[in-house]
Copies of this chain bind each other. A is one copy, B any other.
Amino acid sequence: MTQTDTVSRILDAAEVLFAERGFTETSLRTITSTAGVNLAAVNYHFGSKKELIQAVFERFLTPFTQSLVGELDRREATDEPLNAEVLLDSLYRVAMASLEREGRDPQRFMRLLGLAYTQYQGHLRRFIVSRYGDSYRRFAGLLSKALPGLDPVTFYWRLYFMLGATIFTLSSFDAIEAILKEDFGAESSLQETLERLVPAAAAMLHAGD
Contacts and interface: CB of A to CB of B under 8 A. Distances in A.
A206 to B, nearest CB: 7
A163 interface: yes
The prevalent SS among residues of A at the interface is helix
A200 interface: yes
Interface residues on A, range: 35 or more
A115 interface: yes
A167 interface: yes
10 contacts: A22-B118, A24-B25, A153-B186, A156-B184, A157-B200, A158-B200, A160-B172, A160-B176, A164-B164, A200-B204
Given A20-B120, A154-B196, A165-B204, 7 more contacts: A21-B120, A152-B184, A156-B179, A161-B201, A165-B165, A167-B168, A204-B207
Interface of A: 20-22, 24-25, 114-115, 117-120, 152-154, 156-158, 160-169, 171-172, 176, 179-180, 183-184, 186, 188, 193, 196-197, 199-204, 206-208
